[in-house]
Amino acid sequence: MKKSSLIYLAVGIILAGFVLYMVRAEKKIERTEFLMDTIVNSVIYTRNRRQGVNALSSAFGEMYRLEIILDRHHTDSEVFVLNRDAGTRPIVVSAEALDVIKKSLQVGEQTGGAFDITIAPLINLWRFGSADVYVPSENELAQTVKLVDFRRVQVNNNDGTVFLDGGGTELDLGGIAKGYIVDMAIEALLEQGITSAYLDAGGDIRVIGEKPDGSAWRIGVRHPRDRRGIIAIVELRDKAIVTSGDYERFFVVDDVRYHHIIDPKTGEPSRGIISVTVIAPDAFTADAYSTALFVLGLEKGMEIIESLPELEAIMITEDEQVHITSGLAGKVEIRQ
């Protein structure tokens, strides 16, 4: 064979190898959209671009669909109707709404009422979500606290109905809706055969598998007092991680910070903790417990979370000290 033919052959083999590599290589597909009042970012790795794009479309489709069902401010939502007709009649709701309400009531029981989806009257009183700030009087707080009790929510599994027992009872699923919706989107990705993905809905994160190079997904936990800083890094595979912080929605009056995570017993923003991150098998559980632990405080919060083997937590107290559960020892990188 001539020398030039040999060179052509070698180049041909290298090119073919390259083409084969490109076809078989994992492609990174990303999609970012604004929904659920936050930035939702997703990354998936797949060899089949079309499969990836389709999977992301169905995941985002699920998120748009569920957002409308669970948002109490949306006049087409089931929660809006439940709240409007509180105390008058049971309402037939979708399987998803029934599911999320039942799961929320369970966490309410497990946390002694620290997590309570009937928190809406208090959120309304403090006017969170509106532009004008308001600090309620003791009397207003005392009156409104009486309306908050998750035991007023009656679920009838046979009829598929929910009844809010008592006028003035109102649901606010803000403490768990994002987590639940992230789970449903992840289910959609799994159904489409995706084996490597990252989904972040404004801090409610869940991952599938690991990255194509075999490394875990590295997730940064935001520093609660430094907008751009990271206080901890956790490596995760097939898990969810959710953070609740007093910096997400708050206002300051006379040097006092009033934030959106309310202690149902006092009616006031819960004090002592400034950030809680929970790692769980699913985003619903991580979301519910991050809100609950915020209210429970360091001691009770740690006690509950240590009793649940599948859950881990990072709690940051007012003095900016980082506290972790025993299961995270040696597994989390703290940057202080």
Q: Which is nearer to ligand AMP, 29 or 79 (CB)?
A: 79
CA dihedral 147→150→156→162, nearest 10 degrees, is: 50
Structure tokens at 61: 């489709």
Q: Which residue has the tokens 């959209």?
A: 33
Structure tokens at 77: 């939502």
Backbone angles phi, psi at 128, to 5 degrees: -65, 140
Task: Name which position in 46, 275, 290, 325 contacts ligand AMP (CB under 6 A).
Answer: 290
- In DSSP terms, 46 is beta-bridged to 27
Residue nearest ligand AMP, CB atom distance: 174
Residue 142: CB minimum distance to ligand AMP, A? 17
How does DSSP assign 48-91, residue by residue?
Answer: -HHHHHHHHHHHHHHHHHHHHHH-TTSTTSHHHHHHHTTTT--E
Q: Is 325 in the site for ligand AMP (CB under 6 A)?
A: no
Q: Which of residues 150-179 bind ligand AMP (CB under 6 A)?
A: 172, 174-175
Q: Is 172 in the site for Mg ion (CB under 5 A)?
A: no
Residue 202: CB minimum distance to ligand AMP, A? 9
Backbone angles phi, psi at 13, to 5 degrees: -65, -45
Q: Which of residues 215-274 bind ligand AMP (CB under 6 A)?
A: 244, 248-249, 260-262, 264
Helices 177-191 and 283-306: crossing angle in degrees, nearest 10, is: 120
Q: Is 98 in the site for ligand AMP (CB under 6 A)?
A: no
Q: Is 287 in the site for Mg ion (CB under 5 A)?
A: yes
Q: Which is nearer to Mg ion, 107 or 322 (CB)?
A: 107
Q: Is 287 in the site for ligand AMP (CB under 6 A)?
A: yes
- The number of residues that bind Mg ion (CB under 5 A) is 4
In terms of DSSP bridges, do strands 27-35 and 38-46 run parallel, antiparallel, or are they unpaired? antiparallel
Q: Which is nearer to Mg ion, 175 or 267 (CB)?
A: 175
Task: Name which position in 295, 302, 313, 314 contacts ligand AMP (CB under 6 A).
Answer: 295
Helix (H) or strand (E) holding 141: helix 138-145
Structure tokens at 128: 């969170």
Residue 276: CB minimum distance to Mg ion, A? 9
- CB under 5 to 8 A by kind: which of Mg ion, ligand AMP, none does 188 bind? none
Structure tokens at 256: 């006092």
Q: Which residue has the tokens 């040696």?
A: 330
Task: Name which position in 52, 175, 224, 297 contacts Mg ion (CB under 5 A).
Answer: 175
Q: Is 39 left (phi over 0), alpha (psi -120 to 50) or beta?
A: beta
Task: Name which position in 79, 123, 186, 208 contacts ligand AMP (CB under 6 A).
Answer: 123
Q: Which is nearer to Mg ion, 175 or 264 (CB)?
A: 175
The footprint of ligand AMP (CB under 6 A) covers 115-117, 119, 123, 172, 174-175, 244, 248-249, 260-262, 264, 287, 290-291, 295
The footprint of Mg ion (CB under 5 A) covers 175, 287, 290-291
